[in-house]
Amino acid sequence: MSTETLEAPIVKEREPLLSKRRKKFVTDPLSDDNPITIQVLGICSALAVTTQMKPTFVMAISVIFVMVFSNLTISLMRNLVPTRVRIIVQLAIVATLVTLVNEVLKAYAFDMYKELSVFIGLIITNCIVMGRLEAFALGNKPYDSVLDGLGSGLGYSWIILAVAFFREIWGSGKVFGYPVFEKLGMEGVALNGLMVSPVGAFIVLGVIIWVQRTKTGYVEH
Amino acid sequence: MQQSNTYIIVFSVILTTVLALLLSGVSQVLGPKQKEAQDLDTKKQILGAVMPMADIKKMEPAAILDLYSKVITAEVADYQGNLITTNEKGGPMVAEEVNIEKNYKKSPEERQYPVFKYHQAGQQNNVEAYIVPVYGAGLWDAIWGFLALETDLNGIKGITFSHKGETPGLGARITEGPVQARFAGKTFVDGNGNIVELQMVKGENTPESKLGPHKIDGLSGATLTANGVNDMLNNYYGYYQNYFDKHVRTGAMANN
């Protein structure tokens, strides 16, 4: 009898799977605390892979995968990792996951592998991944860390997809490789070669950051 | 407690072992699949030298392999032009498995030179194009491709290029169809039968009348990549002359 009465309050105290606090882990990085536009992390890949939407999409999926699972792994190990070597441990985990992504792409999407393998390798150095491991996963429970990784990954993804959308439609007149202007009968639309080069990404990203910061009222301190 | 050196060392060793086992396991499992993908990609590129890449991309992998096996016959020669039929392990030589990159690191005399002969299905003796792999250095890293020569061995029928790290939007444009199409119809030999080096020129949009049969319109902002392409094509065209002399120019009648 006594054990039953003890158990009941514990069950009650458990947080719902998607409590308000946890929802914030996912929603915050989408806008108010976006890794690219607010924290200005992961810019290099945002510039490099965003010429077309298709490779950008694969890159986004890969980053989300790496973020979620590295956050999960580090969080599970957080009480075991010796603090003095924690950075190299994080690096080893991230590098392993990135290599996994690369190997899977090589086996099942060889064309994507040829196009993206350089950038996939660079996920290791993507500041967002290490940043979240260091700032969040090392001090929080696994489930929360997974949500945090998912949030940051999605926040990164929607920005690079937005950049890629503008660059592809202005640079090559296509969306996901589909020739939009041609199909709409607007053959003569002038395309801007600047959008294809990384400079175009700088401009688009700058405009997105501007618009977003105006909306959220965020100011650099 | 956690901070003791022994703990750190033991932790690191265990972590490394676990990750290494995981990675090598994955590599073992995916290995065959990756090899298939690589093989398919090579065959796509070889076919791409003689037919539009867009058509190939629309085909199913099985259809590509089937087409390839029907229209391509391959053999491997050494620098002197003698055919090599057995590989280092004593098995049969497979032209598609010759690693061009590894060969490139040897001196030209020691390399193996695969030749892919394109013909209509079932007509092995009626070769329509000779496709040879080429490999060289671009601006940043390796560039390679497949060069399809007409039966006179002088004119270019088609070409495909790949690269490892050329600048996107500049040198990386050598992988684009319209750029590769500029090579078709150009020739290595002038009217008197002398070999003339092909040259992808500096600057873009040079009118065809100014280019003539040995010059190719260049890539704006990617002259160094274009120079790499020139060297690559001219070098490999030279390396294959012994094979062509022995097996195509003189032997053509006898073989038929």
Q: What is the pLDDT of residues A140-162, one digit of tens each?
A: 888 989 999 999 999 889 888 99
Distant-in-sequence, close-in-space partners of B147: CB < 8 Å, separation ≥ 6? B49, B131, B132, B133, B134, B156, B159, B233, B236, B237
Task: Give me the residue from A89, A96, A193 closest to B23, CB to CB.
Answer: A96
- The answer to whether the Cβ–Cβ distance between A104 and B30 falls below 8 Å is yes
A7, pLDDT greater than 60: no
CB A42 within 8 A of CB A123: no
- The answer to whether the Cβ–Cβ distance between B11 and A81 falls below 8 Å is yes
**A2 in a domain, yes or no?**
no
Measured between CA atoms, the residue of chain B closest to residue A195 is B169
CB B116 within 8 A of CB B74: yes
The candidate with the shortest Cα–Cα distance to B56, out of B202, B177, B181, B189, is: B177
Task: Give me the residue from A96, A107, A114 closest to B22, CB to CB.
Answer: A96
Q: Which of 33-62 (B) contact A at CB < 8 A?
A: 33-34, 37-38, 40-41
- The answer to whether the Cβ–Cβ distance between A114 and B34 falls below 8 Å is no
pTM: 0.76
The candidate with the shortest Cα–Cα distance to B21, out of A96, A86, A75, is: A96
Name the pLDDT band for B2 (thresholds 50, 70, 90).
low
Count of residues for chain A? 221
**A206 in a domain, yes or no?**
yes
Q: How far apart are CA A41 and CA B226, in angstroms?
A: 35
Measured between CB atoms, does A99 come within 8 Å of chain B?
A: yes
| Chain B CB contacts of A172 below 8 Å | none
Name the pLDDT band for A3 (thresholds 50, 70, 90).
very low
Q: How many domains does chain A have?
A: 1
Q: How far apart are CA A165 and CA A176, in angstroms?
A: 8
| Chain B CB contacts of A92 below 8 Å | 15-16, 19
Distances (CA, A) of B151 to A20, A38, A67, B233, B252: 72, 61, 54, 17, 10
Measured between CB atoms, does A76 come within 8 Å of chain B?
A: no
* Secondary structure element (H or E) that encloses residue B157, with its range: strand B156-163
Q: Which of 140-159 (B) contact A at CB < 8 A?
A: none
| Chain B CB contacts of A106 below 8 Å | 30, 34, 37
**A14 in a domain, yes or no?**
no
Q: Which domain holds residue A187?
A: 24-29+41-215
Distant-in-sequence, close-in-space partners of A69: CB < 8 Å, separation ≥ 6? A97, A149
The candidate with the shortest Cα–Cα distance to A126, out of A54, A53, A48, A201, is: A48
**A1 in a domain, yes or no?**
no
Q: Which of B3, B11, B13, B143 is the best mutation test for A, with the most CBs of A within 10 A? A: B11
Measured between CB atoms, does A199 come within 8 Å of chain B?
A: no
**A150 in a domain, yes or no?**
yes
pLDDT, one tens digit per residue, over A157-183 is: 988 899 989 888 888 778 887 777 777
Task: Give me the residue from B2, B8, B19 closest to A92, CB to CB.
Answer: B19
| Chain B CB contacts of A196 below 8 Å | 168-169
Name beta bridge partners: B161: B145
**A173 in a domain, yes or no?**
yes
Q: What is the ipTM of this complex?
A: 0.74
CB B107 within 8 A of CB B121: no
The stretch B44-64 carries a mean pLDDT of 84
Distant-in-sequence, close-in-space partners of A204: CB < 8 Å, separation ≥ 6? A50, A162, A163, A166, A167, A195
pLDDT, one tens digit per residue, over B75-118 is: 888 888 888 887 777 778 888 888 888 888 888 888 889 989 89
Name the pLDDT band for A13 (thresholds 50, 70, 90).
low
Least-confidence region, from A69-83, B88-102, B226-240: B88-102
In chain A, where does DSSP find H-type helix?
Answer: 2-13, 20-27, 43-48, 53-76, 86-108, 110-121, 127-135, 142-171, 180-183, 198-216
From A110's Cα to the closest Cα of chain B, the distance in A is 6
- The answer to whether the Cβ–Cβ distance between A82 and B23 falls below 8 Å is no
